[in-house]
Amino acid sequence: MGGHVEAIFLTAEHGELPAPVDRVRAHAGRGLEGNRYYWEDGGAPPGRAVTLIASEAVETVASEGDVSVEPAATRRNVLTRGIDVNALVGKRFRIGAVECEGVELCEPCETLEGMTQPGVIKAFVHRAGLNADILTDGEISVGDPVTVV
């Protein structure tokens, strides 16, 4: 079971559309450098260090016709292809050389719907991504493999 990183998105401010980057430094217990959810002194709450979403889920929602959201607008950090991110809940996995652990599904919320369009909550239930912890330091780059440990 494996896939790869299709895109990486970061934003320093709440409400801003995350910008694509080619690579990012990941820090255990702190998050992704340059992202608004980055705890300089450590202590990232469980599941807040990195978020993932499958490109297949974004495409499926768009193909259903009621809602279409660009991957960056999902507000998830890592866009994957070829791996079921829902299956990573409770599992250790690697994004490139960075070891992570899936904590819980990242379900859509009213804030996300308010920043995008009506119907996002219903369209993305159980396919809006994964909240995960970062367990080891390293760099994550577009094209990196995503594999279960």
pLDDT tens for each residue of 77-128: 999 999 999 999 999 999 999 999 999 999 999 989 889 999 999 999 999 9
Is the pLDDT at 1 greater than 70? The verdict is no
Cβ neighbours for 122, distance < 8 A, ≥ 6 positions apart: none
Is 0.85 topped by the overall pTM? Answer: yes
Residue ranges per structural domain of the chain: 2-148
**Positions of E strands within the chain:** 2-10, 19-21, 23-27, 31-32, 50-54, 78-81, 92-95, 98-105, 130-134, 138-141, 145-148
- The amino acid present at 130, given as its one-letter code, is L
Q: Which CATH class is domain 2-148?
A: mainly beta
